[in-house]
Amino acid sequence: MIPAPKYPYPFIDHIIISEEEIRERVRTLGEQITEEYKDSEKILLMGLLRGSVMFITDLMRQIQRPLTIDFMSVSSYSGTSSSGFVRIDSDHKSNIHGWDVILIDDIVDTGYTIHTVRKLLADRKPNSLKTCALLDKVERHKIDIKIDYLGFSIPDYFVVGYGLDLDEKGRNLPYIASVDLKRYQELYGDLN
Ligand code: IMP
Ligand code: MG
């Protein structure tokens, strides 16, 4: 692991996935989706705001099929822990009936978010429904789920960057970095 530069977020600990590694993995995920959806004219990438934004904008450029995107905003997290209760803050706009939907989140932790949203979307009768996440902390799952298109499995670190945040900080980093929680608390006080 390479120590992360302390600028612009002094609470960053280590870069755990570099820009190059992300770019390469996103490219192969795009290739895989292009191949597996080669007969579909109705691909819809459904991103969960706001964490999946950087991932979805990179991934969509690597899928050589006609596609469209939509977003939902959901929350279950405060600070560094999942509440287990998933709230829909803003629903998607398009009718997904008959579409080949790929639900995209930044990271899977307990699994409640992606599981809950997946069930909700399934009730809306898409033609097909798969899940995609950049990161998965498999050892923290509280339910039995498997992500169809996964970027990387990671250990139980709290991470920021490439769209992911800690209380809205760190989203614009181009890599995935672990957080020094002790340092974070010295800087910003206790996490709620
Ligand atoms: P789950 O519902 O417990 O699976 O939590 C998934 C959601 O929690 C993701 O959409 C993220 O917004 C957030 N999350 C979980 N772990 C992290 C992390 O390490 N960094 C940033 N956000 C995280
Ligand atoms: Mg999220």
The residues that bridge with 177 in the sheet, in sequence order, are 15, 160
Domain residues for the domain of 99 are 21-153
Q: How far apart are CA 179 and CA 99, in angstroms?
A: 38
Q: Kindly report the protein residue whose alpha carbon is nearest to atom 20 of ligand 1.
A: 159
pLDDT (mean) for 25-43: 98
pTM over 0.85: yes
Residue 3 has pLDDT above 80, yes or no: no
Q: Which of 5-14, 68-77, 101-110, 152-161 has the lowest average pLDDT? A: 5-14
Output the domain CATH number for residue 27.
3.40.50.2020
Helices (DSSP H) in 38-84: which residue ranges? 53-61
Q: Which atom of ligand 1 is nearest to the CA of 107?
A: 9
Q: How many domains does the chain have?
A: 1
CB of residue 134 inside a 6 A radius of ligand 1 = no
- Among 94, 103, 99, residue whose Cα is nearest residue 49: 103
pLDDT (mean) for 157-182: 96
Q: Which of 2-16, 34-48, 57-71, 146-160 has the lowest average pLDDT? A: 2-16
156 as an active site residue: the answer is no
Q: What is the pLDDT of residue 190?
A: 85
pLDDT (mean) for 42-58: 98
pLDDT (mean) for 3-24: 89
Residue 1 domain-assigned? Answer: no
Q: Kindly report the protein residue whose alpha carbon is nearest to atom 2 of ligand 1.
A: 113
pLDDT digits (tens, 9 = 90+) for 108-142: 999 999 999 999 999 999 999 999 999 999 999 99
Residue 175 domain-assigned? Answer: no
Q: Kindly report the protein residue whose alpha carbon is nearest to atom 5 of ligand 1.
A: 109
Q: What is the pLDDT of residue 85?
A: 85
Residue 171 domain-assigned? Answer: no
CB of residue 170 inside a 6 A radius of ligand 1 = no
Q: How far apart are CA 21 and CA 38, in angstroms?
A: 26
pLDDT band at 82 (very low <50, low <70, confident <90, very high): confident
Q: What is the pLDDT of residue 77?
A: 65
- Among 33, 95, 43, residue whose Cα is nearest residue 66: 43
DSSP 114-148: HHHHHHHHHTT--SEEEEEEEEE-GGG-SS----S
Residue 107 has pLDDT above 70, yes or no: yes
Q: Between vectors from CA 26 to CA 22 and to CA 32, what angle results, nearest 5°?
A: 150
Residue 164 domain-assigned? Answer: no
Percentage of the chain modeled with pLDDT above 90 = 89
Residue 182 domain-assigned? Answer: no
Which of 6-10, 82-86, 99-103 ranks highest by mean pLDDT? 99-103
Q: How far apart are CA 44 and CA 95, in angstroms?
A: 10
Residue 187 domain-assigned? Answer: no
Residue 172 domain-assigned? Answer: no
Residue 71 domain-assigned? Answer: yes
Q: What is the pLDDT of residue 5?
A: 67
Length of the chain, please?
192
CB of residue 110 inside a 6 A radius of ligand 1 = yes
Percentage of the chain modeled with pLDDT above 70 = 96
